[in-house]
Amino acid sequence: MPAHPRIPNPQEGELQRFAYDLRELGEGKASVTWIAGHEETTVSKAALYAALSGTRLPKRETVSTLLRWWAGDPANEDPDLDDHYIEPVWSWIDRLPRDHEGRRLADQWRTRYQRLARDVVDERGFRPRAARVAIAVPPEQQDFINELNDLIGKTGLEDELWLLLGRFSFRVVRYLAGESIPTDETCWTLTDRLASFVPELDRLDAARRLMLSAEVARAARVRDRRIARGGRTA
């Protein structure tokens, strides 16, 4: 594995220790360049290398991608085991045979990452919160709203949200009004429910499209809030 990222010092904290151990796990296995170039990889090579530097908490999609090749065993995954899985980021773990060693190891790493993410969030909670600012719905968030509207429209029941989604419809009204943006898990659950009314829909592709659109929308809101706080207009 090329040493593009700086080698983290495991004595400097849990984040650095996690990155250091992750690098160790990857020694002698598929290279980051090879993983990034694989047709199933949706994470950039830069993000994969950044996860090994220990400078900031990587996204779970990034960690999951590395672990799939370094802790898991893609050659032994059964693609038919997760057709209706509600958590696509880690679904490859459940595609492994029940008695496969990679399943146990991957579960351990997933738990470790989840604990690390909670600790990082808790630490950030002690920092003074940034001033609240009002911003308009960014174009990128409007693109997400359009994507969600199109998905709902495929059911032919866009005027019957309660029939489509039950109590979940209250959240969708907020998403469509630009008041909030769903998490990846919610995007997947939402797509899964809507897909039950559209049998020909490729739910995996639709969920990925919706999650990507939501991710871009969240980044746009962060950008616009930062601009608003700084008094800049561009």
Residue 178 inside a domain? The answer is yes
| 83 lies in the same domain as 35 | yes
Q: Are residue 97 and residue 149 in the same domain, yes or no?
A: no
pLDDT band at 3; cut points 50, 70, 90: very low
> How many structural domains does the chain have?
2
What is the residue range of 64's domain? 10-124
Considering the domain architecture, whether residues 16 and 116 belong to the same structural domain is answered as yes
Indicate the average pLDDT of the chain.
84
User: How many angstroms separate the first and last alpha carbons of the chain?
Assistant: 40
Do 107 and 21 lie in a common domain?
yes
Whether residue 37 sits in one domain with residue 97: yes
Q: Is residue 2 part of a domain?
A: no
Q: Is residue 190 part of a domain?
A: yes
Mean pLDDT of 25-48: 91
Q: Is residue 29 part of a domain?
A: yes
**Does 122 or 159 have the greater pLDDT score?**
159
With vertex at residue 214, the alpha carbon angle to CA 93 and CA 96, rounded to the nearest 5 degrees, is 5
Among 166, 156, 163, 208, which Cα is nearest to 187's?
208
For the entire predicted model, the pTM comes to 0.53
- On the question of pLDDT at 147 being above 90, the answer is yes
pLDDT of residue 231: 59
